[in-house]
Amino acid sequence: MTEISIIIPVYNAQKYIRKCIESILNQTFRDFEIICVDDKSKDNSVKILEEYKYKDNRIHIIHNKRNIGQGGAKNVGIKLAKGKYLMFIDQDDWLEPDTFELCYNQIKKNNNDFVIFNYNRYYENEGRNIIPEKYLSGYRDELNNPDIKLWKLKEPFMISAYTWTQIYNTDFIKKNNIKFDASLRMGDDAEFYFGAIIKSKSVSVIDKPFYNYRRYEESVSESKTHLYKHHIKSRMNVYNMFLHSLHKNEYLKNYIPYSIRSLLYYYKLWGNKNHSIKPIYYQKMHKYFSYLNKEYDISQFKDEINYERFIDIANNSWNKKNNIYFEIPNIIKIYKRKRNTIAIKLF
């Protein structure tokens, strides 16, 4: 039986997939398999993967019949995984050489459901690496704890909502039917990760940056604005997951302020990039915020959120609050028309 299964969803990855694969093949821990799920790539990705497969029989290539997105591709990989533990890596990222060895030793020793570790954020345009200081800061007092109960902690797990900074026990994932929402093209990581949190009984942390996450600073916001509905749906789905969990009160105290901050942040970020999404995004926020305002005392989170902005959106729909957004162009047209009429009369 293989010890670790590595799942890589692949789509048009020819530019970076070699570095990704090489970082896995160069690991100090050798007992693993690589499951590459090709999601109907249109470039030379598959040809490159076949080159590596010819040299190393630990590499398996799965061909999707149609493009199903990263979440769906990862689900395919989970079904086929034979390893006792599994990890995910994105096609344009790479790992440090001792990642498998140290993560495997810790999850096996502690018998954890999963282990969380740190990462480097690599800025493609600038060619520099930084370690996010806040990523594991909330775990500072728990770093040597082999058996963390996440529901007892104050929020740190909320900013860890990636699936590529963990090693998971495969039986834990499969027995609890934890999977990605294939209908989402954004936010699917969060649902998987928080689903694992809800079901987990034992977690531990390694404060070392094993994963190198490639970030395209200039293009990422613009390229994802059309996925805003997926982002909102993901946030709502996670809320419902926590609402029906065993420790719902503890989880929601952490998740509610996190979700409010997240929605406000992306509304501003993406709304400035694409004004046409503002009305729909705002209305969905208004519906969610209004519900929260009725169900919970949100004032308890005043120090964690923009409370005044939250109340403003909770109490005012888009039509009531933002009609001027649509009226300004009409006002300008009327003004120009009247100005031209006056000019005609004068001459």
pLDDT value of position 347:
37
User: Is the per-residue pLDDT at 176 higher than 90?
Assistant: yes
Angle 6-94-16 from CA coordinates, rounded to 5°: 105
| pLDDT band at residue 341 using 50, 70 and 90 as cut-offs | low
Is the pLDDT at 52 greater than 90, yes or no? yes
CB 24 within 8 A of CB 6: yes
Backbone angles phi, psi at 14, to 5 degrees: -60, -25
DSSP 3-state percent helix, strand, coil across the chain (nearest 5)? 55, 15, 30
The yes/no answer on whether domain 4-218 falls in CATH 3.40.47.10 is no
- Measured in whole angstroms, how far is the alpha carbon of residue 222 from the centre of its chain? 17
Local confidence band at 126 (pLDDT 50, 70, 90 cut-offs): confident
- b vs e for 185-196, b when ≥16 Cβ sit within 10 Å of the residue's Cβ? bbbbbbbbbbbb
Model pLDDT for residues 14-29, shown as the tens digit of each residue: 999 999 999 999 999 9
Query: What's the CA gap between 196 and 173, in Å, rounded?
Result: 7
Token look-up 């480097």 returns 120
Mean pLDDT value of segment 217-235: 70
* Cα dihedral sign, 280-283-289-295: negative
Q: What is the pLDDT of residue 220?
A: 45
CA 236 to chain centre: 14
- The whole-number average pLDDT for the span 91-115 is 97
pLDDT at position 160, please?
A: 73
- Mean pLDDT within 114-141: 87
Quote the mean pLDDT of the chain.
89
Q: Is the pLDDT of residue 155 over 70?
A: no
Q: Give mean pLDDT, residues 181-210.
A: 92
